[in-house]
Structure 1
Amino acid sequence: MDNRHRWRTIDIVIASVIAVAFGVIFWAWNTVWGVTEAAFAFFPPAQTLLYGVWLLPAVLGGLIIRKPGASLYTEAVAAIVSALLGSAWGATVIPQGLVQGLGAELAFAVLFYRSWKLPAALLAGAMTGVTAALFDFFVWNAKYALWDYRVPYALLTVVSGALLAGLGGWVLVKALAPTGVLDRFGPGRERALI
């Protein structure tokens, strides 16, 4: 592994901070998910438009840390924190987080961990949505009708991943970079070059 892919202590610390913060956000988002169910009673799969919030740390961790394993690490640790705080779905969110993190990780790997622009973020968000949808397809949604529920649910999860996690993660990184908090990472160094 070359030096640009070697994790520094600060990479581990910041990835962990992102993960813990999102683990708490997940815990709160579980409540939002529960109270919005009635609003989507007209077409229950549409609720997955809110799903991307659960996918955000995978994209955000990859965009900031920019090293192999960052997406997987941040999403998995966020899922563990969520489970420890009392997720409504129990410990099943831990393997779910691993699968979700793998989606963004695959997207960044396909780009050889060299592209961090908006298209890369959208791809990572969409791929995280794909892996999340696959997990849910077989674990949570196996009892539902294929074409009336599971397929639309999967497609909308990918859309939510691309928009909320991909675009949202990219916008969040762009908003944080000028503050100086990312100066020891790629986004901060890029800002310094402008």
Structure 2
Amino acid sequence: MSTTEQSTTAVAAPRPGTLRASGRLTAWRTVDLLTVTFLGAAFGIAYWAWGLLYVAPSEALTAIFPPLAAIVAAPWFVAGVVGGLVVRRPGAAFLCEVVAALVSMIPGTKWGFSTLLAGIFQGIGAELAFLLLGYGAFGLGAAILAGALSAPIEAIYEWFTYWADWTMGWKVAYLAILTVAGGIIAGGLGWVVTKALAAAGALGAFPAGQEVREKSAV
């Protein structure tokens, strides 16, 4: 085995029950790029729709305790989680989240260009989660971590853009709630969506689909 192969195996050794991307992790295939783009576009449409629907629950939570509004922001983290779980290559989580943000801007949002900035910040966090796991774990725990880490940079950005008049206590509470909600809502939903796509046979070219086939063969 060459030095390069040893290095790749050490960094990306999969956890029991999971499969990593085939070949070199950085060797993106055409199907990888197309799938991330498609997933990002689909989530972008969903993000735009959620931007129309979230107002009522957001106002209700804000009336109870303003930082609770973080709960309804968590669904905007799902694309990064799913992109990372499906493609399992460096950059997949980040790219999927950014594409989703871009597509959600096309019909028009009240946040304008900050929508793209949010996608970048959230995508960086999701990508960091898979990086910390060496791109070798893709179960529910990895999904929760990716959803949770999508929150911190975004929360701090919002401190200065949307919540500048809040006390530091409220800002910290918002960050904590957004992180927990990101892990539970975005992480959990992202994991469910990935499993559902794999079970439906839509991920046959990816490790998630192979995992389903192997379980069925047992």
- TM-score w.r.t. structure 2 length? 0.84
C-alpha distance in structure 2 between counterparts of 1:192 and 1:21, whole Å: 25
Does residue 1:145 correspond to 2:167, yes or no? yes
1:182: Cα distance to partner?
0.7
1:34: Cα distance to partner?
1.8
1:181: Cα distance to partner?
0.4
RMSD: 1.5
Q: How is 1:159-174 mapped onto 2 (pairs within 5 angstroms)?
A: 159-174=180-195
Structure 1 or 2, whichever has the larger Rg, is: 2
C-alpha distance in structure 1 between counterparts of 2:213 and 2:59, whole Å: 47
Q: How is 1:37-186 mapped onto 2 (pairs within 5 angstroms)?
A: 37-40=58-61, 41-147=63-169, 149-186=170-207
1:81: Cα distance to partner?
1.2
1:119: Cα distance to partner?
1.1
Q: How is 1:28-43 mapped onto 2 (pairs within 5 angstroms)?
A: 28-40=49-61, 41-43=63-65
- Ranges in structure 1 where 5+ consecutive residues have no aligned partner: none
Tell me the alpha carbon deviations over residues 94-136 of structure 1, each in whole angstroms, 9 at most, x when there is no partner.
1111110000101101111111111111111111122322222
Give the match for residue 20 of structure 1: 41
Give the match for residue 190 of structure 1: 211
- TM-score w.r.t. structure 1 length? 0.94
C-alpha distance in structure 2 between counterparts of 1:37 and 1:73, whole Å: 27
User: 1:132, 1:157 within 8 Å by CA — same for their partners in 2?
Assistant: no
1:38: Cα distance to partner?
3.0
Higher helix share: 1
- Ranges in structure 2 where 5+ consecutive residues have no aligned partner: 1-7, 9-22
Runs of 4+ in 1 over 6 A off after TM superposition: none
Equivalent AA in structure 1 for residue 200 of structure 2: T
C-alpha distance in structure 2 between counterparts of 1:4 and 1:31, whole Å: 38
- Secondary structure, counterpart of 2:166 in structure 1: coil
1:71: Cα distance to partner?
0.7
Give the match for residue 5 of structure 1: 26
Equivalent AA in structure 2 for residue 10 of structure 1: V
- Please identify, of 130-139 and 102-111, the stretch whose mean Cα deviation from structure 2 is larger: 130-139
1:15: Cα distance to partner?
0.7
C-alpha distance in structure 2 between counterparts of 1:37 and 1:119, whole Å: 27
C-alpha distance in structure 2 between counterparts of 1:150 and 1:112, whole Å: 31
Equivalent AA in structure 1 for residue 145 of structure 2: L
- Secondary structure, counterpart of 2:151 in structure 1: helix
- Secondary structure, counterpart of 1:85 in structure 2: coil
C-alpha distance in structure 1 between counterparts of 2:96 and 2:150, whole Å: 13
Identical columns (%): 37
- Please identify, of 167-176 and 108-117, the stretch whose mean Cα deviation from structure 2 is larger: 167-176
